[in-house]
Structure formats: structure tokens, C-alpha cells
Structure 1
Amino acid sequence: MKRILILTALSAMGVLASGAAAANADLAKSKLCLNCHAIDKKVVGPAFKDVAAKYKGDAGAAARLAAKVQKGGAGVWGNVPMPPNPAVTEAEAKQLVDWVLGIK
């Protein structure tokens, strides 16, 4: 019985995690992030997997990247600047960046 409860709890955690990932992908789509980025390939901007790899272990990356989502940036990934996205709130920017940095 204990084993069944443990397996059920682990399954529920997996469903919640995949739901959160889908929710963040939906947020990225609704905020037009996927017009310039993809998870696994460069489009106009870098692949989200490449962003996650570049900033792995960088404790200050999440805050800097969340600010870039809202205010834009240039020079890190080449000559094409990332435009600001004023439609993204501070909380949404943090949620999006946390999702991107968690991509493996």
C-alpha cells in the first residue's frame, strides 16, 4: 500500500511538472517569444536550450534576462538586437526566464 501511495505521488508530481512546462510554453507563445526563438534551434534569436546552457550556474542570470525580456538587449548573441516586450509583466518575465533556464 505504501508503495502505491509513493508511485501515485510521483506520478502526480510528473503531471504537475509537465503542466507547468506546457503553461510556460503557452505563455511564451502568447507573448510572441516563439516568433523569434525556438526551444531547440536558432530562429532570429538563440534557441532556448542554448540560452539555458550559456547561463547555467550563473546566479544573477535570471534577473538580468528577465530585465532583457522587458527592456530588450543587444550584443550577446550577435548583431540582431532583441526588442523590448512591454506586453510582458515583471512576474511573467521571471516565469518565462525560469522556464527557459530550466530547459535541458
Structure 2
Amino acid sequence: MRRAILAGAALTLSAMAAVPTARAADTPRGLLIAQRNACLGCHAIDRKLVGPSFQQVASRYKGNTQAEATLERKVKDGGSGVWGVIPMPAHPAMSDADIRTVVEWVLAGAPSK
């Protein structure tokens, strides 16, 4: 009886551990990278926090052929003055590939799936 209870508990724990993995598989890579790099401390997907929402950024740069390069540079080097007085800090430790992935996701409208 005790073994059955322990086996059931182990099965339940392993099923619970699989849930975040399943959710992570459904999460866009750009969002995952943004989460890992603390972007969501200042930006939300759909509302202004310290900085503009990712959707506001997508809207502002829609149709701008230089948007990707501009935003990649802004993420890497930081910047100020575009969205107000609070500067965006530089992210020199982020790889160029990760920055590109986040920027592409943002310019696509920051979809959640």
C-alpha cells in the first residue's frame, strides 16, 4: 500500500514537472529570451510599465524598413528620448542572435503563442 502511494506521488510530481515544459514549448522564443534577460521588468506585452509595451513598439515601427536594425542597436547600446525621459539601459551581454530574436518577436506584435 505504501509503495502504491509513493508511486502515485512520484507520478503526480513528474506530471506537474512536465507542465512548465509544455507551456515553455508553446511560448515564443522571443518572449522566453525577453523573460531571461529581465526585459519584462520594464516592458509588458500590452501595457506601458517603465517603458512602452512591446505592442506599442511594434505599432510605432510598423512599416519602418530600418526598424529591426534600429531596435537591435537600441537593445545592445541602450538609449533615451524616444519614449520619454527614462533611459533604456544597454544590454551588452545579450548575444546578437538573442537580440535579433527578441526584436523580430516584438516587431511581429509580441504574440503570446
TM range (shorter): 0.7 to 0.9
TM value normalised by structure 1: 0.77
Structure whose CA Rg is larger: 2
Cα offsets for 1:28-56 (capped at 9, x unmatched): 00011111000000010000000000000
Q: How much identity, in percent, do the aligned residues show?
A: 45
Count of aligned positions: 86
Runs (4 or more) in structure 1 with deviation over 3 Å come to: none
Give 1:89 shift. Answer: 1.0
With structure 2 as the length reference, what TM-score do the two structures score? 0.72
For 1:10, the equivalent position in structure 2 comes to none
> In structure 1, what is the equivalent of residue 59 of structure 2?
53
Structure 2: runs of 5 or more not aligned: 1-24
* Matched residue type, 2:58: A
Indicate the residue corresponding to 1:41 in structure 2. 47
CA RMSD of aligned residues (A): 1.5
Residue 79 of structure 2 is aligned to residue 68 of structure 1: no
1:29-86 alpha-carbon deviations (Å, 9 max, x no partner): 0011111000000010000000000000000010010011010010000000001012
Contact 1:31–1:87 (CA under 8 A) maintained in structure 2? no
Higher relative contact order (CA 8 A, sep 6+): 2
SS of 2:28's equivalent in the other structure is: helix
Match for residue 25 of structure 1?
31
Aligned-pair CA distance for 1:23:
2.0
In structure 1, the residue matched to 2:18 is none
The AA in structure 2 aligned to 1:58 is N
Matched, 1:98 2:94: no
Q: Provide the C-alpha distance between the structure 2 equivalents of 1:24 and 1:94, rounded to a whole number of angstroms.
A: 9
CA distance in structure 1 between the partners assigned to 2:71 and 2:29 by the alignment: 19
Superposition pairs of residues 7-26 of structure 1, within 5 angstroms: 19=26, 22-26=28-32
